[in-house]
């Protein structure tokens, strides 16, 4: 669990965070469950951060006492439906099982609906074998909804769709 003195925060990921980024992006335990690209060189990772991460509005570093140990992001679904977003998160495996990812998901879910007013539904897709990530989303208030099975030639995957809906009540 998180120590009482530990501070979990979310902030923009910067190119200067490349060493920390490399720690989780080259972690074999993480890549086993993540569909994110892995980086072998610091230069490639720095270029990726500058070109693809910095411009993203809802991409944040998950920090423990100020040190980036993973990331969390929300991206809109394609097309004209701006009422749905997909949440993704990655955490260095040495920090798993401490409640950090759950806290980060709760923090993002608490603010994203304010920052993105037309958002009504936040979804997370989790590999069916990734029980820990399913628990993260459940503890953050997501509910299981749909089971997907992909049997493409190059990809064999089973995913569980979990949802979190902001329900606005007007009195």
Q: Which of 56, 32, 52 is nearest to 127 (CA)?
A: 32
Q: What size, in residues, is the chain?
A: 171
Q: DSSP code of 51?
A: I
Compute the distance between CA of residue 3 and CA of residue 99 in angstroms, rounded to an integer.
10
Give residue 112's pLDDT. 92
Whether the predicted pLDDT of 34 surpasses 50: yes
Structure tokens at 160: 């569980």
Q: Considering only CA atoms, give the Rg of the chain.
A: 16
The per-residue pLDDT of the chain, averaged, comes to 82
Q: Please write the tens of the pLDDT for every residue from 84-129.
A: 899 999 999 899 999 999 999 999 999 998 998 888 888 888 887 8
Compute the distance between CA of residue 76 and CA of residue 2 in angstroms, rounded to an integer.
31
Domains present along the chain, CATH in parentheses = 8-121 (3.40.630.30)
- Which residues does residue 12 pair with via DSSP β-bridges, in sequence order? 60
Q: Which of 28, 38, 25 is nearest to 68 (CA)?
A: 25
Q: Which of 38, 47, 59 is nearest to 15 (CA)?
A: 47
Q: Which of 86-95, 108-117, 132-141, 157-166 has the lowest mean pLDDT?
A: 157-166
């Amino acid at each position: 669990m998180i120590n009482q003195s530990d501070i979990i925060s979310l902030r923009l990921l910067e190119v200067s965070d490349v060493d920390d980024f490399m720690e989780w992006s080259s972690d074999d335990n993480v890549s086993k469950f993540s569909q994110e690209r892995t980086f072998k060189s610091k230069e490639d990772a720095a270029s990726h951060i500058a070109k693809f991460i910095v411009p993203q509005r809802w991409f944040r570093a998950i920090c423990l006492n100020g040190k980036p140990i993973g990331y969390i992001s929300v991206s809109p679904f394609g097309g004209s439906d701006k009422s749905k977003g997909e949440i993704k998160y990655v955490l260095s495996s040495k920090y798993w099982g401490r409640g950090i990812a759950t806290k980060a998901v709760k923090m993002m879910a608490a603010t994203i609906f304010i920052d993105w007013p037309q958002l009504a539904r936040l979804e997370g897709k989790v590999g069916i074998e990734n029980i820990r990530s399913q628990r993260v989303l459940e503890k953050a208030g997501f509910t299981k909804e749909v089971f997907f099975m992909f049997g493409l030639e190059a990809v064999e995957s089973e995913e569980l769709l979990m949802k979190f809906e902001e329900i606005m009540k007007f009195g």
